[in-house]
Chain A
Amino acid sequence: MTAWQIVILASIVCAALKVAGYLIPPKAFEHPTVARIANLMTVALLAALIGVQTFGAGQAVQLDARVPAVLVAAVLYALRVPFVVVVIAAAVVAAGIRMLT
């Protein structure tokens, strides 16, 4: 697939999902189990992406400067530091460690 094909196809699917809720009868999604799974799906995917982005290096698992950077980010989020500041701080921590080692 080309990058454009991926970008366009994924965008159409996501936009269609938003439209779907305005078209389908609400009854189909009223079941609490369906709603619960949808909510947990978001959590599972985000957490999985954090795991892969923090430890993955191609098809290997690798512990490096990303781990302390993500730990710093977690502490900063717990202290209610704004998103953008935390993201920059994580980049600075990882880049700093790489520069020193």
Chain B
Amino acid sequence: MATQRTPEERAAIRSGLAVGLATAVYGISFGALATLSGLDVWQTCFLSLVMFTGGSQFALIGVLASGGLAAGPAAITSAALLGTRNVFYSIRMAPVVGPGFWRRAAAAQLTIDESVAVSTAQTTLGAQRAGFWVTGLAIYLGWNLTTLVGALIGDLLGDVSAYGLDAAAAAAFLGLLWPRLKERQTQAVAVAAAVVATLLTPVLVPGLPVLVAAGVALVVGGFNLFGAKPTKPPAGGDA
């Protein structure tokens, strides 16, 4: 990066670092919950290093925690479906990041809610670029460090329910969902999906209720029920 930075670029770097620090702390909850769902410390760290998209990571361990290894296919599918929004983020970031194989490969790994949100909030191309990279790198470093710390803590803790960590997992999902509940359409989808998944829990094998509930998004989105506005990336809440 050039040594002479514009005021816009400096502002983008500042907000990128702030968002990065705030988000990285979530890694502790992820690391602890992941080891308590049955993964070991290495598997937990692998998820943060390679998958690196918080919603999918929490989804994977959430399904594994309730269904065990038998729910593996459902866990993978949940993580993948939650990861589809990153395709749209990548499309939006491609012109900001620019050409070049290695640059795009690195950018792809850092394409998450927060880096895209900070980038698209900037007014100049230079600031958009700076915001994307600073936010993405700050979260990548912080998220992986705090994941390791959380995993080691979780490894020491033991029984999940005795400590209330199953409730903590539900609260973590709620925290990821909260910033997305501003419109009536998303609120309706959230309520319907939660009801569908809960009602189907006694009927279907663990993991499947969550996937069937995703069908609510297909119906409401496909017919555009409950009046939608044009979609834009959320302001935060998920790495």
- Consensus secondary structure, chain B interface: helix
Among B29, B43, B84, B189, the most chain A Cβ lie within 10 Å of the Cβ of B84
A39 — nearest CB in chain B belongs to which residue?
B231
Q: How far is the CB of B191 from chain A (nearest CB, A)?
A: 7
Q: Is the CB of B88 within 8 A of A38?
A: yes
Contact B80 A18 (CB under 8 A): no
Instruction: Enumerate chain A residues within 8 angstroms of B218, measured Cβ to Cβ.
Output: 37, 41
* Contact B178–A17 (Cβ < 8 Å): no
Question: Do A44 and B193 touch (CB < 8 A)?
Answer: yes
Contact present for B62 and A17 (CB under 8 Å): no
Q: Is B202 engaged at the interface, CB distance under 8 Å to the other chain?
A: yes
Chain B interface residue count, Cβ-Cβ cutoff 8 angstroms: 106
**Inter-chain contacts of B55 with A (CB < 8 A):** 42, 45-46
Smallest CB gap from A32: residue in B: B230
Q: Which residues from chain A contact B166 at a C-beta distance below 8 Å?
A: 53, 66, 94
Q: Is the CB of A46 within 8 A of B176?
A: yes
Residues of B participating in the A interface, judged by any CB pair closer than 8 Å = 22, 25-26, 28-29, 38-40, 43, 46-47, 50-53, 55-56, 58-60, 62-66, 69, 72-73, 75-76, 78-94, 97, 104-105, 107-109, 111, 161-178, 180-181, 185-186, 189-198, 201-202, 205-206, 209-210, 213-218, 220-222, 224, 228, 230-231, 237
